[in-house]
Amino acid sequence: MKDLKILVVDDEEDLCEILQYNLEQEGFKADIAFSSEQALQLDLSKYDFFLLDIMMGEISGLELAKIIRRNPDLEDKPILFITAKGSETDKLLGFKAGADDYVAKPFSVKEVIARIHVICKRVFSESKKESGFEYENLRLIPESKQVTINNIDVGLTKTEFEILHLLLNHAGRIYSRDEIMNKIWEGDTFVGDRTVDVNVRRIRKKIGEYHNLIKTKSGYGYYFDPRLK
């Protein structure tokens, strides 16, 4: 994780330089850009992590995040917003645009670095687990995008498959509705909480006797628990 290459994009030049210095002291490699337009002139594929302000020039940080998420080479790279826009609505818009985390200014540089470590530990460890899954007679096959029971395809839609894939590959990890929406649907597509619930209900119905493997944590979200059926 110390070889992580981070791009900081913020129109406050002094802040960029402070972040760059502290990130490099932590052992990261860090470049800076003072606008989204300047960032888009760079080869973004060489970066592992993005620190973005929101209020910048003609292309906001929200728009830059959406551009990053639409790029197949970048869609899984972590994004952390660092911004003065700290209301609940602003944060929800940030997560909707594809953010992994959100820190409001003024902030502690140590807190930002700690959050980077936490995000990287989660994201990069999870990425290694994206594989097939088998539990008793239930199988998830990524190559064919199928879920089978006793070798019979249960007929999941694309969205249902992706939600189940997410939950099965991260057993015990609770995903909120917002997290599921950000990971499964495009950042600029409007999806309500109800849509997530409907898809989970359909998945449970289609996997029949295994439906209780998908648990609901009241007030938090959904998770996969292989210990109980």
Residue 74, pLDDT score: 86
Residue 108 CB burial class (10 angstroms; 0-12, 13-18, ≥19): exposed
**221 has which bridge partners?**
217
On whether the pTM is more than 0.85, the answer is no
Contact partners, residue 168, CB within 8 Å, separation at least 6: 133, 135, 140, 224
pLDDT for the residue 134: 82
pLDDT of residue 1: 57
Strand partners, 138: 135, 149
**How many CB atoms lie under 10 A from the CB of residue 95?**
21
Mean residue pLDDT across the chain: 87
Please identify every stretch of the chain with a pLDDT value under 50, giving residue numbers as ranges. Answer: 128, 188, 229
Looking at residue 130, its pLDDT comes to: 52
Q: SS3 of 75, please?
A: coil
In whole angstroms, what is the distance from residue 10 CA to residue 15 CA?
8
Domains of the chain in start order, with CATH, are 5-127 (3.40.50.2300), 133-224 (1.10.10.10)
